[in-house]
Amino acid sequence: VLGEVREGLKWLFQTKEEVLVFAASGTGCMEGAVANICSPGDRALVIRGGNFGERWANICQAYGVQVTNIDIEWGTAVTPEQIADALKADDSIAAVLTTLVETSTGVLTDIEAVGKVVAETNALLIVDGISGVGAVECRVDDWAIDVLVVGSQKALMTPPGLAYITLSDKAWAKVDS
Ligand SMILES: *Cc1c(COP(=O)(O)O)cnc(C)c1O
């Protein structure tokens, strides 16, 4: 069963990479991503347009990551240009953390466009797809998503308590550094 699930998760994430299974809530997996990928003192850009964007910022702060927020009005989506401008203004940003579907407002982020912007930089694109994946399109490899976190109990409609995460080669290099 586990082998079948692992293959199925790769299909769900649209990635050739391994998808790791966490015995945790979605939030636990978000924390795992920050704790293992970011180091204290790293700089991160967080898109805050609702409750879950704020959660990324709170987790980063708890781990000593220096956060720059893009605060957008709740109910609106960040534009790729806003992210491009922030990355140009500070080339030391190591990670961009954003949300596929901001469940608290229902806003969908254009991750494909954001991926094109972030892929041109050294920063990693870390996406909370906890509620979105399974409901809306999300293609890890084609869209250059470096880290994607998904929860079991939202669009996947399976019991709570599991979460899934995948990392690109660029993200694994950061884990190893
Ligand atoms: C529900 C949700 C979370 C938190 O997941 P839990 O499993 O409740 O910890 C994080 N991000 C988004 C977008 C969510 O919808």
- Pocket residue to mutate for ligand 1, from 22, 30, 34, 130, most atoms within 8 A of Cβ: 130
Q: For residue 39, what are the contacts with CB-CB under 8 A and spacing of at least 6?
A: 65
Tell me the CA end-to-end span of the chain in Å, nearest whole number. Answer: 34
pLDDT the model gives residue 156: 96
Give dist(CA 97, CA 100) in Å, integer.
10
- Cα(168) to ligand 1 centroid in Å equals 22
Q: Which of 21, 48, 52 to mutate to test the pocket of ligand 1 (most atoms within 8 A of CB)?
A: 52
State the pLDDT at residue 54.
98
- pLDDT tens for residues 104-124? 999 999 999 999 999 999 999
- Write down the pTM of the prediction: 0.98
Phi, psi of 48 (to 5 degrees): -110, 100
CA of 8 to the centre of ligand 1 (A): 21
Alpha carbon of 104 to ligand 1 centroid (Å):
10
Query: Is 171 strand, coil or helix?
Result: helix
Q: Is 99 in the pocket of ligand 1 (CB under 6 A)?
A: yes
Q: State mean pLDDT over 115-136.
A: 98
Segment 30-72, tens digit of pLDDT: 999 999 999 999 999 999 999 999 999 999 999 999 999 999 9
What digits encode the pLDDT tens for the residues 67-108?
Answer: 999 999 999 999 999 999 999 999 999 999 999 999 999 999
Ligand 1 center–CA 131 separation, angstroms: 7
Phi first, then psi: give them for residue 58, nearest 5 degrees.
Answer: -65, -40
What is the per-residue pLDDT for 110? Answer: 98
Place of tokens 């491009």: 84
